[in-house]
Amino acid sequence: MKLGSEIMIGRIRFSSNVLMAPLAGYTCFPFRLMAKRLGAGSAYTEMVSADALKYNDKATSKLLYTDEREKLKCVQLLGAIPTVFERAAKSELLERFDIIDINMGCPVPNVVKAGEGSALLEDIPRASRIIEACKRSGKVVSVKCRIGMNRSRIVIEEFARMCEASGADMITVHGRTRDMMYDGEPLYEYISLAKDVVHIPVFANGGIDSKEKAYEMMEKTGADGIMLARYGFENPLLFSELTGRGIQDTKYDLLKEQLEIAAECFDELYVLTYIKKLASYFMKKMPGTKQYKMDLYRCGSISELGNLLKEIFDKEVLD
């Protein structure tokens, strides 16, 4: 399948098969809007604890913030207990969301110790019950997973079959084992194996940092599409390149838009924290980055931050 093609996931049509992964601390509402405008077929919320939804606190509300501008709403849930997932999936807080993605790939130690994320690769019956529980909400359900815990415990063939049998509408396979964390070349052959053993769409994830890597991933795996992660945040214009949108925004254009949307939706502290993180990613490889970051983190108001961003990124355009 060609990158940028429309694709059906369950009963929902995605505008492209280039997706933005959920990233804790990054894929907030403004960023998801930007990713979709640039060509992403979908963009997921930051990772949300299924159990934490019952508290409906301010932190969770920010993670789930959305409005009518976000046409396709996708949430990612993390947890280990099927009944908790079912309650979350059917809750009022998730009523507006169209798709639930289940995190079965997070490799972070405290997540794995709690039996969540990658730990579910070693408890396939429990993983199956979680998928079935989410499907009882009537929503489209996807699963994001890794290929196994390590190279001697690769389970992706059995795991992919289980996901489909349990009702999942799509699988995203990160082509690394849990112990590889985020380093090393993805093991393309295992993403290909997952694609070969199921009939539902399989998306490939891991190490896609350029147009060339995206095409290589598609060619080596035969996947139905790709999911960008860290590099989608570092260079969102990659969505436009991969989908042929032809959007010519500068990094400053993107930051200015993000600042305006974030200021509409969130308090000043949240806006400052988010935009500083995003700008820091955008500054990578720019001359003078160290000084720019020092100036950036000294900003104490939205107006001050806006003026500094213009100064920094105007220089980049002139250079």
Catalytic residue among 28, 74, 106, 145: 106
User: Which range is least confidently modeled, 57-61, 84-88, 306-310?
Assistant: 57-61
Of 54 and 6, more confident: 6
Beta-carbon count within 10 A of 212 CB: 9
| For range 6-17, the mean pLDDT | 97
Structure tokens at 48: 């949300």
The answer to whether 30 touches 265, Cβ cutoff 8 Å, is yes
The pLDDT of residue 318: 37
CA atoms within 13 A on the CB side of 101: 29
> What are the pLDDT digits (tens) for 187-205?
999 999 999 999 999 999 9
Structure tokens at 22: 């959920």
| For range 272-281, the mean pLDDT | 94
The pLDDT of residue 149: 97
The answer to whether 142 touches 102, Cβ cutoff 8 Å, is yes
- Measured CA angle at 156 (ends 179, 139), to 5 deg: 105
What pTM did the predictor assign?
0.94
The answer to whether 137 touches 111, Cβ cutoff 8 Å, is no
Asked about 106 being catalytic, the answer comes back as yes
> What are the pLDDT digits (tens) for 209-256?
999 999 999 999 999 999 999 999 999 999 999 999 988 899 999 999
Task: State the chain's mean pLDDT as an integer.
Answer: 94
Q: Where are the domains of the chain?
A: 7-243, 251-318
Q: What residue spans of the chain are helical by DSSP H? A: 29-37, 58-63, 82-89, 109-113, 124-135, 156-165, 188-197, 211-221, 230-234, 237-243, 251-265, 268-282, 289-298, 302-318
The answer to whether 201 touches 9, Cβ cutoff 8 Å, is yes
Q: How many residues does the chain have?
A: 319
> What are the pLDDT digits (tens) for 149-177?
999 999 999 999 999 999 999 999 999 99
Beta-carbon count within 10 A of 138 CB: 9
Classified as helix, coil or strand, 168 is coil
| For range 81-100, the mean pLDDT | 97
The pLDDT of residue 159: 98
> What are the pLDDT digits (tens) for 104-143?
999 999 999 999 999 999 999 999 999 999 999 999 999 9
| For range 311-318, the mean pLDDT | 68
The pLDDT of residue 221: 98
Q: How far apart, in Å, are the Cα atoms of 60 and each of 12, 46, 64, 143, 283? A: 26, 10, 6, 21, 29
User: Which range is least confidently modeled, 58-72, 87-101, 139-153, 278-292?
Assistant: 278-292
1 pLDDT band (50/70/90 cuts)? confident
CATH of range 7-243; options 3.40.50.2000, 3.30.470.10, 3.20.20.70, 3.40.50.150: 3.20.20.70
315 pLDDT band (50/70/90 cuts)? low
Query: Which residue in 185, 302, 209, 210 sits closest to 255, CA to CA?
Result: 302
